[in-house]
A and B are shown apart, each in its own frame.
Chain A
Amino acid sequence: MKPTDVQDPNYFHKVVDCQWACPAHTNVPEYIRLIAQGRYTDSYMLNRESNVFPAILGRTCDRPCEPACRRGRLEDAKPVAICRLKRVASDLKGDISHLLPSIPQKKNGKRLACIGAGPASLAVANDLMPLGYQITMFEKLPQAGGLMRSNIPAFRLPGTIIDEETGVILDMGVDIRYNTPVDSMRSLLRDNFDAVFVGTGAPRGKNLEIPGRYQTDRIHIGIDWLESVAFKHIESIGERVLIIGVGNTAMDCCRTSRRLGGKDIKVMARRPRTFFKASPWELEDAEEEGVEILINHAPSRFVLENGKLIGMEFERLEWDEQARKSKTIDTIFLPADDVILAIGQENSFPWIERDLGIEFDKWDMPVVNETTLQSTLPNVFFGGDAALGPKNIIWAVEQAHQAAISIHNFCHGSAVTERPAPGVNLITQKMGMSEWSYHNDYNPSARQKMQHVDLTERFRELNVEVELGFSAEQTAREVQRCLNCDIETVFTPKRCIECDACIDICPVACLTIAPNGEEEDLRTRLSAPAFNLDQALYVSAPLPQTGRIMAKDEDVCVHCGLCAERCPTAAWDMQKFEILISQASGTPEWNTTLVPA
Chain B
Amino acid sequence: MPSIAKPRVAHPSAQLNQIGLKQRDYEGVMSTLCAGCGHDSVTAAIVRALWELSIEPHMLAKMSGIGCSSKTPAYFVNGAHGFNSAHGRMPPIATGANAANRELLYIGVSGDGDSLSIGLGHLCHAIRRNLRMVYLIENNGVYGLTKGQFSASADVGSKSKRGEANQMSPIDPMLLGLSLGATFLARGFSGDKEQLVPILKAAIEHRGFAMVDIISPCVTFNDHNGSTKSYLYTRQHQIEATQMDFVPPAREILAEIGTAGEIAVTLHDGSVVRFKQTPEGYDPTNRSAVSRYLEEHAGTGKIVTGLLYVNEAGPELHELNHTPAHALTKVPYEKLCPGSKVLAEMQQGWR
In the complex, B10 has a CB within 8 A of chain A? yes
- Bound-state CA distance A151–B4 (Å) is 48
Least CB distance from B26 to A in Å reads 13
Residue numbers in A under 8 Å from B2 (CB-CB): 434, 505, 562, 565-566
Residue-wise, chain A 548-566 has the 8 Å CB interface mask toward B (1 for contact) of: 0000000010101110011
Residue numbers in A under 8 Å from B219 (CB-CB): 497, 499, 568
In the complex, A103 has a CB within 8 A of chain B? no
- Bound-state CA distance A235–B34 (Å) is 72
- Asked whether, in the complex, the Cβ of A508 is within 8 Å of the Cβ of B10, the reply is yes
Among listed A122-130, A360-368, A435-443, interface-contacting one: A435-443
Residue numbers in B under 8 Å from A436 (CB-CB): 3
Least CB distance from B35 to A in Å reads 5
Task: Determine which of A503, A558, A567 lies in contact with B9 in the assembled complex, contact meaning CB atoms within 8 Å.
Answer: A558
Residue numbers in A under 8 Å from B240 (CB-CB): none
- Bound-state CA distance A507–B235 (Å) is 27
In the complex, A444 has a CB within 8 A of chain B? yes
Give the total of A residues in contact with B, Cβ under 8 Å: 36
Least CB distance from A371 to B in Å reads 37
- Asked whether, in the complex, the Cβ of A499 is within 8 Å of the Cβ of B9, the reply is no
- Bound-state CA distance A75–B24 (Å) is 14
- Asked whether, in the complex, the Cβ of A501 is within 8 Å of the Cβ of B10, the reply is no
Least CB distance from B199 to A in Å reads 16
- Asked whether, in the complex, the Cβ of B11 is within 8 Å of the Cβ of A509, the reply is yes
Task: Determine which of A435, A498, A556, A561 lies in contact with B12 in the assembled complex, contact meaning CB atoms within 8 Å.
Answer: A556
- Asked whether, in the complex, the Cβ of B4 is within 8 Å of the Cβ of A562, the reply is yes
In the complex, A529 has a CB within 8 A of chain B? yes
Residue numbers in A under 8 Å from B217 (CB-CB): 499
Across chains A and B, the number of contacting residue pairs, with CB separation under 8 Å, is 104
In the complex, A455 has a CB within 8 A of chain B? no
- Asked whether, in the complex, the Cβ of B190 is within 8 Å of the Cβ of A560, the reply is no
Residue numbers in B under 8 Å from A449 (CB-CB): none
Residue-wise, chain A 465-503 has the 8 Å CB interface mask toward B (1 for contact) of: 000000000000000000000000000000001111101
| Closest Cβ neighbor of B47 among chain A residues | A504
Least CB distance from A255 to B in Å reads 36
- Bound-state CA distance A408–B2 (Å) is 51
In the complex, B341 has a CB within 8 A of chain A? no
| Closest Cβ neighbor of A71 among chain B residues | B9
- Asked whether, in the complex, the Cβ of B36 is within 8 Å of the Cβ of A507, the reply is no
- Asked whether, in the complex, the Cβ of B13 is within 8 Å of the Cβ of A529, the reply is yes
- Bound-state CA distance A499–B24 (Å) is 20
In the complex, A545 has a CB within 8 A of chain B? yes
Residue-wise, chain B 1-41 has the 8 Å CB interface mask toward A (1 for contact) of: 11110111111111000000000100000000011111011
| Closest Cβ neighbor of A508 among chain B residues | B11
Residue numbers in B under 8 Å from A184 (CB-CB): none
Known: A73-B12, A556-B12. A499 touches B191 (CB 8 A): yes
- Asked whether, in the complex, the Cβ of A499 is within 8 Å of the Cβ of B34, the reply is no
Known: A500-B193, A501-B36. A562 touches B6 (CB 8 A): yes
Most buried by B among A499, A505, A546, A560: A499
In the complex, A569 has a CB within 8 A of chain B? yes
In the complex, A74 has a CB within 8 A of chain B? yes
Task: Determine which of B1, B4, B14, B190 lies in contact with A500 in the assembled complex, contact meaning CB atoms within 8 Å.
Answer: B190
Least CB distance from B222 to A in Å reads 13
Known: A499-B191, A499-B219, A568-B219. A507 touches B6 (CB 8 A): yes
In the complex, A528 has a CB within 8 A of chain B? yes
- Asked whether, in the complex, the Cβ of B10 is within 8 Å of the Cβ of A500, the reply is no
| Closest Cβ neighbor of B4 among chain A residues | A441
- Asked whether, in the complex, the Cβ of B36 is within 8 Å of the Cβ of A440, the reply is no
- Asked whether, in the complex, the Cβ of B235 is within 8 Å of the Cβ of A440, the reply is no
Known: A497-B36, A528-B13. A505 touches B6 (CB 8 A): yes
Q: Knowing that A508-B9, A566-B40, A568-B35 touch, tell me 15 more A-B residue pairs with CB under 8 angstroms.
A: A74-B9, A74-B12, A75-B12, A434-B1, A435-B3, A436-B3, A441-B3, A498-B231, A500-B191, A508-B11, A545-B231, A556-B11, A558-B9, A566-B36, A568-B220
Task: Please list the residues of chain A having a beta carbon within 8 angstroms of any beta carbon in chain B.
Answer: 73-75, 434-436, 440-442, 444, 497-501, 503-505, 507-509, 528-529, 531, 545-546, 556, 558, 560-562, 565-569
Nearest 5 interchain pairs by C-beta: A568-B36, A442-B7, A504-B44, A434-B3, A528-B11
